[in-house]
Amino acid sequence: MHLSAMLSDGVQANESNATRTKSVSDVASGDSAADTRRFRTIAAILMVTSAAMLFVLLWIRPQGVEDDSVAEVFDEGVAIVTQSYDTKWNGETQLQVGSSVSQGKVELLSGLIQLEFYRGAVVVVEGPAELEFVNADRLICRRGRLRAHVPPQAEGFAVVSPNVELVDLGTEFGMDVSGDGSASVHVFDGKVELYESGTDRSAKTRQEFNESESASVSAAGKIAPSSTKPVEFVSSSQLLQLASTRNTARLEQWRMEQQSLAANPQAELLYTFEKDASSSRLLRNRSINNDQSNGAIVGCRWTEGRWSGKDALEFKHPGDRVRLQIPGEFDSLTWSAWVRIDGLDRPFIALLLTNGYDVGEPHWQLRDDGRLLLGIQTPSGHVAYDSEPVLNIKHLGRWTHLATVYNSKSAQVTHYINGENVGESPITTDKFKLRFGETEIGNWGTPMEYSPQKIRNFNGQIDELTLFSKALIAEEIQSLYTAGLR
């Protein structure tokens, strides 16, 4: 019980006892000296009790319970990726639309990417480019071509190359840096300041360039005005048009792949999350093997998915869900889905859950610590197969591929995130059949009374979900991920 409720209950109890002989207002008004002393005694007891209880709540923690501040997650990003076109990267860092960009180095081999820095600057980068993110208003460009729009709120945004530091004064400019450190700068609007790199913005090296002016920087670091015609710097609007054209072609290719997948005899469920012509509240199972598992959409609203023109369902409220019926029994299964996670805000977060949790029924879900989880009720009790805690704040708002394989033949459960194996667990129980019956996407229809986590609604979007009646191998999971990439 909360402290305020306990205090309230105590006050009400004492007031009730006092009312039997005399009202509190009478006591407070000094109607009786004895009653006044009694009232003060009760008040003093309540104050001491309250202080003691507050001390216990604030200072005494059960053993094994950590301070909440220790587990608090911070956003270490300095920018976010908002557009991309045919990007190829070198190294582990593979920035995608929706990615939060942290401090550090990246190498873009080819393609285009748009970055929106937390201070407000918008930068379009064309590969090949070598970048280092310093903070929300400072970018190092060792090689590459970029165009930046800097609104007044982001004035002071700086781009540093090997031989020059550019400080923006509320402008739009382009910068082209060669591998030898030479560079060209073109001001499209407003004004920029240029300083020799490594001089800590020494006034002796400062030069200003205004709208329609250009500057050249030699490999030796000499800054001079230039009359050279600006190279072609891709703008945000041009990048949007390129991405839109590419997405239209990509969507058509994906639809052809889905038609082929629908004919796969082991695709038990194939939800493409495209609006049905007959009803916007129907989620049609496109698999030709099972016409009994169309879904009834409850609460969710339609929105845009991975590409322009691609539909998705948004799950936001505790009532949002898709109800369906999955007949049959299975020895092995593979779950696959493209999701955009907007919050890991429940201890357990539903992906595909049976209504109850009887023997043989699986629960495919997420944990709030970033684990992918398959829970199964076995004849000998509940078993949970967890992945590593991979998902984190950097995955929020971006499309992610999730897959889990239950392989009864090899007696192993394997989890995949974006095509990568993120955890394996042995199946140690005796063999039994998996079954679903009444099932929900993004929620739990009939929580068990004993469960302390009854609310498990998914927070985000889903635009593709497939259930295979076989255990896919790693190469097949990778193919599913690659085929669905943006």
Binning pLDDT at 50, 70 and 90, where does residue 159 land?
very high
Mean pLDDT of the region 344-359: 94
CA dist 306 and 290 (Å) reads 26
In Å, how far are 97, 135, 149, 162, 232 from 139, measured between CA atoms?
19, 7, 14, 12, 21
> For 77-234, CATH number?
2.60.120.1440
Above pLDDT 90, what percent of the chain? Answer: 68
Beta carbons of 151 and 117 less than 8 angstroms apart: no
CA dist 220 and 63 (Å) reads 63
CA-CA-CA-CA dihedral for 415, 416, 421, 423, to nearest 10? -30
Question: Structural domain boundaries of the chain?
Answer: 3-60, 77-234, 250-483
Is the pLDDT at 461 greater than 50, yes or no?
Answer: yes
Which position has the token pair 């927070």? 459
pLDDT, residue 92, reads: 83
Nearest Cα to Cα of residue 119 among 129, 130, 134: 134
Between 88 and 22, name the one with better pLDDT. 88
Between 324 and 72, name the one with better pLDDT. 324
Q: Please give the backbone phi and psi of residue 267, each rounded to the nearest 5 degrees, phi first.
A: -90, 95
CA-CA-CA-CA dihedral for 12, 16, 17, 19, to nearest 10? 130
Tokens representing residue 478 in the block: 């990778």
pLDDT, residue 19, reads: 32
pLDDT, the chain, mean: 84
> For 250-483, CATH number?
2.60.120.200
pLDDT, residue 187, reads: 95
Binning pLDDT at 50, 70 and 90, where does residue 79 land?
very high
Residues 6+ apart with CB under 8 A from 186: 173, 174, 175, 214, 230, 231, 233
**Cα 249–Cα 252–Cα 253 angle in degrees, nearest 5:** 85
Is the pLDDT at 475 greater than 70, yes or no?
Answer: yes
pLDDT, residue 98, reads: 84
In Å, how far are 210, 243, 263, 366 from 90, measured between CA atoms?
36, 21, 37, 30
CA-CA-CA-CA dihedral for 387, 84, 188, 165, to nearest 10? 40
Lowest mean pLDDT among 5-9, 403-407, 465-469: 5-9
Mean pLDDT of the region 326-330: 95
In Å, how far are 129, 298, 385 from 367, measured between CA atoms?
37, 23, 11
Tokens representing residue 479 in the block: 């193919």
Is the pLDDT at 193 greater than 60, yes or no?
Answer: yes
pLDDT, residue 18, reads: 34
Helix (H), strand (E), coil (C) string for 37-93: HHHHHHHHHHHHHHHHHHHHHHHCCCCCCCCHHHHCCCCCEEEEEEEEEEEEEECCC
Binning pLDDT at 50, 70 and 90, where does residue 457 land?
very high
In sequence order, the β-bridge partners of residue 434 are 330
pLDDT, residue 367, reads: 96
Beta carbons of 401 and 422 less than 8 angstroms apart: no
CA dist 312 and 377 (Å) reads 31
Convert 82-104 to b/e letters by CB count within 10 Å (16 or more is b): bbbbebebeeeeebbbbbbbeee
Is the pLDDT at 9 greater than 90, yes or no?
Answer: no
Is the pLDDT at 56 greater than 50, yes or no?
Answer: no
Neighbour count for residue 175 (Cβ, 10 Å): 24
**Structure confidence by residue, pLDDT tens digits, 218-239:** 999 999 999 877 778 999 999 9
Beta carbons of 283 and 376 less than 8 angstroms apart: no
Neighbour count for residue 72 (Cβ, 10 Å): 7
- Fold match between 77-234 and 250-483? yes
Lowest mean pLDDT among 90-94, 108-112, 312-316: 90-94
**Structure confidence by residue, pLDDT tens digits, 410-420:** 999 999 999 99
Nearest Cα to Cα of residue 174 among 145, 204, 197, 136: 145
Is the pLDDT at 66 greater than 80, yes or no?
Answer: no
CA dist 125 and 243 (Å) reads 14
Above pLDDT 70, what percent of the chain? Answer: 83
